[in-house]
Amino acid sequence: MNEGNEVIYTERQKFSPLLLWFINLSMVLAIVISILALMKDFSGRNPPAAREILIAVLAGIIVPIGISILFTLLKMETQVRSDGLYIRFFPFHIHFRKFSPDDIDECHARQYRPILEYGGWGIRCGLSGNGRAYNVSGNKGVQLVLKNGRRLLVGSQRALELEKAILSIKKL
């Protein structure tokens, strides 16, 4: 980090392990139901070969494991440094995305409805012109309006602290 680029605020967020279990169980259940339906559809006439069943079963194991690994790696990092707001949604962003204080027109902490406004959690494009959202869990964040008119919501477990940190660099 460059000198004069002091970190004022930092927050790391990860998806809930409970969500991970829910996703895995849902996927395994869907695959088991699909295999059972496949077996029923072909009972008595050209049933699927053992190889096809093996491929379906392996897919039922590999896909959930792959998604589990992805959700384990996923993390959102938010930093406010003296020269801007930095956001990284790893592994999709290897490097931080920087928003300069000069790029930020408005900033306020707020409660939002993740599913209704943004279609859920993650890197989301808002519904009905809400702009983009970076969020992992919860329903609190900081709404930014950039000078170019774009809107960005940054999810945070400490939204008021994040708002205060962003406002502090706008005054510098």
Low-confidence ranges of the chain (pLDDT < 70): 1-4, 19, 34-35, 38-48, 60, 172
Q: Which residues contact 28 (CB under 8 A, 6 or more apart)?
A: 60, 64
Closest CA to 117 of 106, 96, 132, 104: 132
Class level of CATH domain 78-170: mainly beta
What pLDDT score was predicted for residue 151?
93
Q: How far from the centroid of its chain's Cα atoms is residue 158's Cα?
A: 17
What pLDDT score was predicted for residue 31?
72
Q: Which residues contact 113 (CB under 8 A, 6 or more apart)?
A: 139
List, for residues 35-83, the tens digit of each pLDDT value.
677 666 555 566 667 777 777 777 767 777 777 777 778 899 999 999 9
SS3 116: helix
Cα separation, 32 vs 36, whole angstroms = 6
